[in-house]
Amino acid sequence: MAAVRASTAGYGEEAPALIRQYESISFAQAHRQVLHLIPTTPGRALDIGAGTGRDAAGLAAMGHAVLAVEPTEELRRAAAALHPLPRIEWLDDSLPLLPRVTQRRIAFDLVLLSAVWMHLDKGQRRRAMRRIASLLAPGGVMIMSLRHGPVPPGRRMFEVTASETTDLAQARGLALVLQAEHQDGAFRRPGVSWTRLVFSKPSE
């Protein structure tokens, strides 16, 4: 029986190239479709799969206190060196259950999952949505990007749809605020496209 590939497969080995690639695009460029929905009042932000730290740094620059979760050691270490900002705390943790984040008993005003969801299989996505919804503060916002297209060699990815993701979120009491489609943008990878989804948790 073939070994099951980890959701982070390939990222440690490719860390130097990924850092150059991801850091070549600004936070504002990467999230231009959803920037207007990021809370402007400084609060607590959870960046899941924080990668090179570009997004965590962008959120910190807006005044948010960011808990940046990244399970790949090579990326986490490089990101902390690239973005040594006092408003960012780095943590080794992973979906679907985020046990170390959960232990802190913190509610977040913003949860960001950029190019993360496609690494989880169907059962993991269901458990992850339940956990993330529980971590959102009332009135909080969750921003996600879903990747569509061919899987790079050595990676573990699954095809995910906006409809399935929306159903999972709505089952946990989250409301869809925005859905937007776009092509691969600056990287221009053949056959790759993205869906942006923004959900909100009702205020108590």
Residue 41 CA to residue 158 CA, distance in Å, equals: 35
pLDDT digits (tens, 9 = 90+) for 49-65: 999 999 999 999 999 99
pLDDT (tens digit, 9 = 90+) per residue, 168-197?
A: 999 999 999 999 998 766 656 678 899 999
**Domains in the chain, start-ordered, CATH in brackets?**
44-200 (3.40.50.150)
Q: Residue 23 — very low, low, confident or very high, per pLDDT cuts 50/70/90?
A: confident
Q: What integer pLDDT is reported at residue 2 of this predicted model?
A: 33
User: Is residue 1's pLDDT more than 60?
Assistant: no
Q: Tokens 């339940």 label which residue?
A: 130
Name the nearest CA neighbour of 63 among 39, 82, 80, 83.
39
**Taking residues 10-30, what's their average pLDDT?**
77
Cβ atoms of 64 and 72 closer than 8 Å = no
The helix (H) or strand (E) run that includes residue 58 is helix 54-61
89-141 confidence digits (pLDDT tens) = 999 999 999 999 999 999 999 999 999 999 999 999 999 999 999 999 999 99
